Each structure stands twice: as structure tokens, then as C-alpha cells.
Structure 1
Amino acid sequence: MVARPDKLVIAISSRALFNLSDSHKVFEEQGLQAFSHYQVERENDALEKGDAFPLVEKFLKINQMLAGEPRVEVILLSRNSADTGLRVFNSIEHYGLDITRAAFCNGESPYRYIGPFGCNLFLSADGVDVRQALEQGVAAATLVAGGSREHRDDVLRFAFDGDAVLFSDEAEQVYKREGLAAFTKAERASAQSPLGGGPFKGFLEALQRLQAEFGLDACPIRTALVTARSAPAHERVIRTLRAWDIRVDESVFLGGLPKGEFLRAFGADVFFDDQPSHCASAAEHVATGHVPHGIVNIEA
């Protein structure tokens, strides 16, 4: 992967940015030729906003708050051809989004361009592409369709699950194999030993570097750890973040309670979790990304 320390880059698929459900249905039911005709015929009709649109809009506004070269960028990665993708670019222009770089792959997976573009995060509606991105070492998630969203201000709020997302799944493996009592005992015994990093550790580090360019009272980004852990398993998490020299703005230890209402209270623009059942529940309240990583997804 090509590092771009000067910039935080999010790659997003066209189906995550815009609502392409109608045209995707045409593709699935009638094939590629019908899909192409459908898109070209409507290329001047702006697409409806997709699940990730509010997140992207807030993200791009950060450049307006900092002097000098843009510090964030959104790259469009699409399975469309450039010809059918013209509707997507016309919609980007319609909404005034500052997105200028893209890869249209004409039916092939675009994940192979994530590295050359130096992307820190990939959001897609295609789970296969997301898994391939994770294998490249890039934070990636499949957006789960859900209910309506409330966006109360311009602050960009990222919420993360802990195990198998920010952290490795080593503790979750103990829980799956031996149960809650063994998990709690093991975490108490290992409280002083930092957990390994998960697929979103690097993205959180990049977010923190960007946050550091703002004063605490003026930062347009907030982060939260929202985990099913509770005391005493909280200590290892806190010490791990301390060892990594990473700060999260809010930490919520739920002890198994459903996460949805807490994510709504935080005002998350997106929440990342490895467990499909947690994602389905959270998606009723906030935009949610499934991270197909760790033992839960190996067994799935």
C-alpha cells in the first residue's frame, strides 16, 4: 500500500454513496446490457443519496476548515464502466461533492486500486470487495442498509466496536471457545498486556492525527468505542489504547446491552462492528458497517 501521511483518504463504492437499488435490480434481473441502457438513458437524472452520503459530505467539509492543501479526500471505486458511471459523476456534481478521482472497472472488483490510491478506509455494498480490501491490510466495511438517520450538526462522529475491529480477535476467540467466565478470567489476568491491533487500528490512528490539527473545542471529528465489554474486562482495553498512545473521545462499556440506542445518543455517522447480528440491530439507528474479520466471521 502506498502511504499518504499528508492526507486521510476514504474510498467508497458508488452503491454506498448513492441509492442504486433500482438500477442494481435491473442488473440482477435483466443483465449487464439492460443495466447499461438504464443508466445511460437516465445519466442526467441525479441519483438519490445513499447510506454513506451524509458521512462523505461531512468528511469533505473538513477541508474548508483547514488552510493549505486539502487534508482529506474521497475516491470513488466502482464496478460500473466509465460509460455507465457518467450518471454517478453527474450526481456528484449535482450535489457539489469535491470528488475528482475514481476507478471504473466494468464489472471487475475495484479493490485492487485501494493500495495505489493510498486509501485508509474502504466502504462498499459488496462484501466480497470488502474482504479483499481487508486482506490487503486496509480498514474496510460493508454498509448495512437500515432506517432513517438524524444528523444534528456538522461534527463527524465515528463509532467503533473493540474486539476484531480496533483490536485483534484474540480475546473473542477465548469467549467463543470457552464462554464468558473464561473470557473474564483471561482478560483480568492479561489486563497489563496490550491487545494486538485489529483492522481499524491504522484508521483510528490516522483520524487522531487529523484531530490533532484542531483545538479540542473546535475539532469537527469525534470518536467513540462502543463495546459489549464491562468491568473487569474494561481495563485491558483502556491500557491497550494507552500503550498505543491513541485517544478516543468517548468509551461506552455496555456489558451486553444492545448498542443501537447508545449509538443514536452519540450521534454516530457510522458504526463499525464485526458481528452481523450487532450490525443489523445498530443499522436501525445509525449507518453501520460490517467488518467481516475475526473468528465470528470465519465461523459464519
Structure 2
Amino acid sequence: MMTEMDEVRLVVAISSRALFDLSASHRVFEEQGVDAYHAYQIAHEQEVLEPGVAFPLVRKLMNLNDLLGDRGRVEVILLSRNSSDTGLRVLTSAHHHGLDIERAAFTGGESPYRYVAAFGAHLFLSADPTDVRLALDAGCAAATVLPSSAPPHGDDDAQLRIAFDGDAVLFSDEAERLYRQQGLAVFNASESAAAHDPLPGGPFKGFLVALHRLQRLFPADAAPLRTALVTSRGAPSHERVIRTLRAWGIRLDESLFLGGLGKSPFLEAFDADIFFDDQAEHCEAARLRVATGHVPHGVANG
């Protein structure tokens, strides 16, 4: 008989440009068109692609399978606008780098977002903002992986660390809307009055739930996966957040209530492998320190 823990899985879908450095070939596509791009990829088919921004994250995610002795616990799926012809280089590079990627969808120029739900993915990472928005509109957790100037991050055996903003990412943007419309004093008063009312879930709630279940497969004092909330909220609005996570039955390892301070130095101190935020200005600052995913959701994104 299967137990609840036997069914715990995490599925992450990722685009080829988020996983590998395809800047040279993408430049050919933008400047010379699809036929030149096709010829370029075929001509360079035997050249292994270098890791992209999200590569270290994917490597650490897949290493969790080795620690659990079960290759099916974490699955990474490649979703790409490439054709199967031009995508051959991507899969060949993945296998060269030791990534156990078995499933892929090559959509020949069409957006691959429709396959996120079909594959049962908890998260979609892409370098294409349009595909990310389409996936979010379809109810899937998704983020645009931004170019990063952060130095190479850690080694493959280090603990995997994922950080999240709160409003419009883990939670809905209802509180953020109130703050923007009526200011900090009204926001704090409203959140204090509603402290015992759990916030509605945001687009990344399902992904966080899946991470939490995966984390529970490891000893609490030796988990190779660590999560953090890094939010501009401070007291007194912190209470509703804490009670919301408690109501969801989710434990975050660290919660940083910054009261408006910049997030970047704290993300670097946490040693985040990736950080998810809805506000472009926060993402622009964070990507200088850590890999960053912009979540174009909620009032901050029109």
C-alpha cells in the first residue's frame, strides 16, 4: 500500500535558455532569423553548451534524488521553443553535464506554456517573459529567470537554498493592493485587524507546498533543502504572515521581515540559490547578488 510519503514528488519545467547559455545562438535568431538560427545550431551541434543562470539550481534539485536513493522524487522537464532538430544540442548538453532529463517538449516556435500543467509541473522557469505570463495566467507557478552577474554559486553538494517574497508570490496581492492605494498606516491597521485570517494563496503556494513535502523526507536537522521568506513587511504586519503559514501547515526555515530594507544583502547572507519576487526593482537589485526569478503577477505588474 502506498503511503502519502511514497507519492511525494517535485516536478520543475525549465526552458533551454534558462538552463544553458544560449546567448550566441539567440543573438543569431534575433539578428538573422529562424533559418539562420537553425543552421547555426546544426553546425554547432557537437559543441556542448555552457551552464546558464538556473543550471546550478537544477543540478542541486536533481542531486536530491541521489540523497534519497530514488531518481523519481525530483524531475526536471525541458520545455523549449526549439524544434526537435535544433533542440538536439540542448538535450545532448544536458546529458553531457550529467543531468538526468528524460522528458522534453520542443514546440517549434510556439509557446510551451500549455505543457506545464500537462506534465504536472509545480514550477516553470523560462528566460521568455511572455511564456512566463501565459503560464501564470493558466494558474501555474512561473518566473522569468533574469540574467545574473552574481559569481558562481557554491558546489553541487552544498545545501539547496530557495528564497521567496511574500505578497503576490507566496500570498495573493490583496494586501499589496491596499498598501499601494491607501498607504502604510492603513495597510498595517488592516493586517493587524486580520491577523487571524489566513491570507489567500499566491501563485507559488503550490510550489512551496511541494518543496515542504519533499523536505520532510529528510531528517529535520540535516535536510539538504532550506527555504526562506524575505519580505519588505515588518511589525505589526508580520503576524498575519506567520499565522497564514501555520494555517497552511508549512514550516519555512527562515523568515526575514525587513521593514522596507533592501533585500539583496540578506539574500546574499542567506546564500540563496534562487530568489523569487514580483517587483522588478527588487529583482534588478537581487540579480547582482543571487540568481533571481521575476514573477510578473499582481498589482506591481499591471
TM-score (norm 2): 0.95
Displacement of 1:5 after TM fit?
4.8
After TM superposition, what 4+ stretches of structure 1 lie above 4 angstroms from structure 2?
Answer: none
The farther-off stretch of 41-50 and 144-153 is: 144-153
Contact residue 123 and residue 141 of structure 1 kept, 8 A: yes
What's the secondary structure of 1:235's corresponding residue? Answer: helix
Whether 2:217 is the aligned partner of 1:213: answer yes
| Equivalent of residue 286 in structure 2, options 268, 282, 287 | 282
Displacement of 1:216 after TM fit?
1.3
Aligned residue in 2 for 1:245: 249
2: distance between equivalents of 1:215 and 1:238? Answer: 23
2: distance between equivalents of 1:63 and 1:247? Answer: 22
Contact residue 8 and residue 213 of structure 2 kept, 8 A: no
Displacement of 1:150 after TM fit?
4.5
| Equivalent of residue 232 in structure 1, options 227, 233, 236 | 236
Letter in 1 for 2:19: L
For residues 133-192 of structure 1, what are the alpha-carbon distances to aligned partners after superposition, in whole Å with 9 as ceiling and x for unaligned?
A: 112211100011121235335211110000000000010000111111111111111111
Displacement of 1:21 after TM fit?
0.9
Aligned residue in 2 for 1:25: 27
For residues 42-95 of structure 1, what are the alpha-carbon distances to aligned partners after superposition, in whole Å with 9 as ceiling and x for unaligned?
A: 011011110000000000000001134520000000000000111101111211
RMSD: 1.2
TM-score (norm 1): 0.96
What's the secondary structure of 1:10's corresponding residue? Answer: strand
List alignment gaps of at least 5 residues for structure 2: 1-5
Contact residue 149 and residue 287 of structure 1 kept, 8 A: no
Aligned residue in 1 for 2:3: none
What's the secondary structure of 1:157's corresponding residue? Answer: strand
Letter in 2 for 1:236: R
Aligned residue in 1 for 2:57: 55
The farther-off stretch of 226-235 and 61-70 is: 61-70
What's the secondary structure of 1:163's corresponding residue? Answer: coil
The farther-off stretch of 61-70 and 48-57 is: 61-70
Could you say if the C-alpha distance between residues 203 and 80 of structure 1 is closer, same or farther in structure 2, counting changes exceeding 3 Å?
A: same
Contact residue 125 and residue 144 of structure 1 kept, 8 A: yes
Aligned residue in 2 for 1:178: 182
List alignment gaps of at least 5 residues for structure 1: none
1: distance between equivalents of 2:61 and 2:80? Answer: 20
2: distance between equivalents of 1:48 and 1:72? Answer: 23
Whether 2:79 is the aligned partner of 1:77: answer yes
Percent of pairs identical after alignment? 63
1: distance between equivalents of 2:62 and 2:38? Answer: 30
Could you say if the C-alpha distance between residues 68 and 46 of structure 1 is closer, same or farther in structure 2, counting changes exceeding 3 Å?
A: closer
Contact residue 157 and residue 269 of structure 1 kept, 8 A: yes
Contact residue 208 and residue 247 of structure 1 kept, 8 A: yes
